[in-house]
Structure formats: structure tokens, C-alpha cells
Amino acid sequence: MCTEYSVPFPAGVSFEKSNQYAGHFSLSDSSHNREVKIARYKSKRALDERLDELASYVDQPHTDEETKREFSVTLVQRWLCVGQDDIISLQNELELLSKGNCVDESDVGVAVSKPFRPFIITRSAAQSSVFGAGYPSLPTLTIEQFYDQQVAAGLLPPPKPIPQNSSGPVVRLIDPSAEEYEAKEKKKANQDELEDADDPDMLSKARSFDDFKDEHRRGSGNRMNRA
């Protein structure tokens, strides 16, 4: 159609070259195919730039017919490049599909592999045999058994028997926290008894402490560890 209407092909690009690029060349002619592709890209970019320039003049009322004709021809050439790229892509895709249909389906099969035999690593077997942790994580001897072995080897002295009727002092364990608690409770009970009995010394001491708290703020005597 472009030939019938005398629409020239873009510079550096022809329909014959596009057919050659579509698959008529072998792999040894890849350099030539690359040159054709670069030429088509440069031509398309030049057409886009020219269309941007002419678009600002076409809508003006004083534009002559030659400018409008150039705009139309450039637009057709631009879409001619786009159409050639699409045709090349479709031809390559058809070629791939035709080669795929030639493949015999009987040649394509799923390879059945033999099942793997179960095996146990030697380290894992040794690990599971020692308390299941890989190392002796649990004690193999009690303290008494270890002491008996050390005594039998002569490394530790044998135990001395404790006499039944010993006249020595009796050792009694005392919990210091219990004694301290008892002392606090006893002191608190004594203070309660003095308050209930209205002891004058106790009342005087309490009043003096109240006056001291009124005159001195809490923490006012703290010198921050300064002399």
C-alpha cells in the first residue's frame, strides 16, 4: 500500500531488510541483523522528533499544504516502523511455535528416579547412643559413688564416724531473718503499749519529732556526700 501511494520508507529501512531480519539470515549474520535493528531505531527516533516539531505548526491557520503533507507522511512512516517491528516479532514467534510442534511427544517423558535408600550418619548414631545429646550431658555417677571411687584410689581420706554420745556443743542453725523479724515485732509491741499507757516520755518524743518535720523539709539534710 505504501508503494502504491508513493510513501517512501524511512531512511535506512526497507521491507526487504525487515524480511531478512525476520529469520532469513543465519547466526553468522547477527552483526548485519544488529545494524538493521539500530538503523530502524534511529529512524523511528528521528521521525518522533520531526513529528514533535511539525505538530506545533499543523493546527495554526496559516500553515501551508506542504507542511501538512510532510506531517502526514512522517506520521505514516512512523507507524510503518512500528508495524515492521510488530511483524518481525510475530514472524519470530510463529517460527518458534512451528519448531515446537515438530517435537515428538513420545520423546518427552518424565524420568523416573530410583528411590533413595535410607541411611544413618555414623555421628548421628553415636549421638543418639549417648543420652540423645551427642555428649555425656547427664551424670554417670552420683556424688557418693564418685567419693567412694576416690577413697578406693587413695585420693581422698575415708569418712570419720560420728560418735553417738558426743559431749561437744550442739550446733543449731539460726535464721537471721527470723530473729530480725521477731526483734521488730517486739519493739513495735513495746511502742504500742507505751502509746496506750500515755507515757509522757513517749508523747514528748513524738511531739518533738512532729515539730522537727514541720521545720525541716524531707531530704533537706542530704549534703550529696559532701563534707
pLDDT for the residue numbered 18: 46
pLDDT for the residue numbered 14: 57
Q: Tell me, what DSSP letter sits at residue 21? A: I
CA distance from start to end of the chain:
110
pLDDT in tens, 92-104: 888 888 887 676 5
The CA–CA distances, whole Å, from 27 to 13, 76, 90 equal: 21, 32, 19
Indicate the pTM of the whole model. Answer: 0.36
Residues of the chain with pLDDT under 70: 1-28, 101, 103-110, 119-121, 123-139, 161-178, 224-227
pLDDT in tens, 171-224: 554 455 667 778 888 888 887 877 777 778 878 888 898 888 888 877 777 776
Contact 8, 76 (CB under 8 A): no
